[in-house]
Amino acid sequence: MVLTPLSPGQDLSGPLLSELTALYASNRAFHRLTGDFPDPDDIRPHQIAEALTGELAVPGAEVLLARAGDGRLLGLAITLARHPDPADPDPWIGLLLVHAAEQGKGYGRALAERLEDRLRARGAAAVRLAVLDNNPAGLAFWTALGYRVLDHRTDRALGRPCTVLRKPLRVPATRNAAADPDRTAPPSRHDNAGTGLR
């Protein structure tokens, strides 16, 4: 799996926007939970372009595309270097989406681990995220990866009830430097683990 960041101001049109729209549209059930789109059964390219442009405009935000070795778009993740609350020292995972056709193959777990590696390499001691309370599959996914419940609150943008989770980022005792970049973890039933941070 290869992670590629989108750049602020990057042209989100043509084939890239088509890929991104297909990714989001494949996750209709998740978008029914979030209410992020007016009609989860009819997600349009301009809505995706607007949403991602807005994410990229947030200071410290990063939008990462997860691709297979053959170039297929497997998923997307959004991270935030700091939460707007100055009392919160940790970076956040704002969203993790895996294309519905690729779920159950371990890509969600692999993407989460890659995000943790990136944050650890930047010196983060822990990472946080928020899962919407109406998303038990997302909560099961993250707790299976070692995230622990820290708090219950509403999200800042839409006031949706969320569970806040946190995971310490310990430095691994051993590291296989020759690891296959397309390695995946064992399949998970909860590969699509969008969070509630907005």
Instruction: Judge whether 141 lies within some domain.
Output: yes
* Average pLDDT, integer, range 169-188: 50
Q: How confident is the model at residue 10 (pLDDT cuts 50, 70, 90)?
A: confident
The enclosing H or E element of 164 equals strand 161-168
Q: Which residue has the higher pLDDT, 85 or 149?
A: 149
Instruction: Judge whether 175 lies within some domain.
Output: no
Instruction: Judge whether 176 lies within some domain.
Output: no
pLDDT score for 172: 63
pLDDT score for 181: 38
Q: How confident is the model at residue 174 (pLDDT cuts 50, 70, 90)?
A: low
**Strand-pair category, 161-168 with 61-67:** unpaired
Q: How confident is the model at residue 156 (pLDDT cuts 50, 70, 90)?
A: confident
Domain range enclosing 18: 2-168
Instruction: Judge whether 183 lies within some domain.
Output: no
Domain count, the chain: 1
Distance between first and last Cα of the chain: 26
pLDDT score for 175: 52
**pLDDT tens for each residue of 48-67:** 999 999 999 999 999 999 99
pLDDT score for 173: 60
Instruction: Judge whether 74 lies within some domain.
Output: yes
Q: What is the CATH number of the domain that holds 69?
A: 3.40.630.30
Distance CA 60, CA 116 (A): 16
pLDDT score for 64: 97
Is the pLDDT at 77 greater than 80? The verdict is yes
pLDDT score for 192: 42
Instruction: Judge whether 98 lies within some domain.
Output: yes
Mean pLDDT for the chain?
86
3-state helix, strand, coil in the chain (%, to 5): 30, 25, 45
* Average pLDDT, integer, range 90-108: 96
Instruction: Judge whether 198 lies within some domain.
Output: no
Instruction: Judge whether 61 lies within some domain.
Output: yes
